[in-house]
Amino acid sequence: METGSQLDKPLGQDRRKKQPGSRPRGSLRSWLAVAAAALVVIGAGFIALQQNPLRQPTKTAQSDPTEQQQTTETLPVVIEGGKTEDGRIAGDSGADVQRTLTDDGQVVTTISPIDRTGDGPLIISGAETIGQDPRVAHLPVPELLEKTDFGRLPVKSASGHRPFDAYARPWSGARGTRLAIVVGGLGLSQTGTQYAIATLPEEITLAFAATGNSLQRWLQEARRGGHEVLLQVPFEPFNYPQNNPGPHTLLIEDGPQQNLADLHWAMGRITNYTGIMNFMGARFLSDQKATETVMRDLARRGVLFLDDGTSARTVTEPIAGAVGVPHAQADIVVDGKVGRADILKKLDDAERIARRNGSAIAVASAFEASVDAIAAWANEAKARGIEIVSVSALANDPEDL
């Protein structure tokens, strides 16, 4: 065997010696590849964390109906810029407040409270809106109440907001034919009141007699049902006392002080009404001095006056306009004869008046026959293009002039 044969050389003796400081071939590329891969992984993770599936879900207004009902009963009434009735800070105090004008004319206030359990903003309607948020329609707005010896009476707020606006039922604002129907005498009969509230469409205005029973309870039922509410106050008729409207009737000979006391007794019986309506009163409401005393008080309180239209000698309209009271006057009584056929005929007459004049107001009492006829007729009238509106929608408001 030759000495120089390759088989005689020890394994590995022919490898090249490493140069000091040299790197293995391809190491730079490997490190760059690893770094790039790491950046891709980090970037993907960051992007993934921004996607909605990994966020905490936000509750929307379309929550569970049961949960929503529970919330409805516990919402505080907010006094703008102040505190709630139970002393908690109102939403306007340091919160995010946004006000939006809706298509139906309401100013909706959206408040994101500072400290409140649960997610998302609370939407409420305060005294500056036309109509209340349905969730709190059965509760009075605290800033529109005056505490007196006769109870809580309606009053304008310091900023000029009126119960007339706060408790009014919104309407479409369209220029079509409009008709308001007022059913009065509620509160006098418990079963009759319950039947009327359950049967009549929410567009019908309900008037509660000041001398009725359980009025605040029935008021809350009516407001939850979407009805606008009036308060019926007894006034002196021409043949008094043979025809007696009841206790606390306002009488001309009693003078201004006693008449205001009787008026305030009546007005303290319920809350959340847009105005008052006379029960009888042909003699009282034909006397300018006596009527002016009442109208000036109503002007300060920011409520309307509905004249039932049964007296040709009434002076309510010019005096209300002079002192700044929103005023409306009924065009027809539909249940002078309490029979279904007669009532439906009178309602047809009310429709003709509304089509001729653009609007009309009809009044009735809460007899079962009247309630049934009005409920059936109103639904048919809406199909004929008649818009059933509340009384406040047809009132002559001095602030709109």
> Is the distance from CB of 77 to CB of 271 less than 8 angstroms?
no
- Quote the pTM value: 0.69
Beta bridge partners of 235: 250, 280
CATH number at residue 304: 3.20.20.370
Give me the domain span that covers residue 342: 163-400
Residue 265 resides in a domain: yes
* Residue 151 burial (10 A CB sphere; 0-12, 13-18, 19+): middle
100 and 171 share one domain: no
120 and 184 share one domain: no
120 and 167 share one domain: no
Residue 5 resides in a domain: no
For 279-328, how does the pLDDT look when each residue is reduced to its tens digit (9 = 90+)? 999 999 999 999 999 999 999 999 999 999 999 999 999 999 999 999 99
Q: State which residues of the chain have pLDDT below 50.
A: 1-26, 46-95, 97, 114, 116-118, 122-128
Q: Count of residues for the chain?
A: 401
174 and 222 share one domain: yes
Strands (E), 332-380: 332-333, 359-365
For 197-214, how does the pLDDT look when each residue is reduced to its tens digit (9 = 90+)? 999 999 999 999 999 999
254 and 170 share one domain: yes
Give the model's pLDDT for residue 95.
47
115 and 201 share one domain: no
Residue 27 resides in a domain: no
Residue 7 resides in a domain: no
Residue 327 resides in a domain: yes
* Of 159, 157, 181, nearest in space to 169 by CA: 181
Give the model's pLDDT for residue 132.
79
- Under 8 Å CB-to-CB from 147, ≥6 apart: which residues? none
- Residue 349: both structure tokens together: 């007459």
Indicate the number of domains in the chain.
2
215 and 274 share one domain: yes
Residue 37 resides in a domain: no
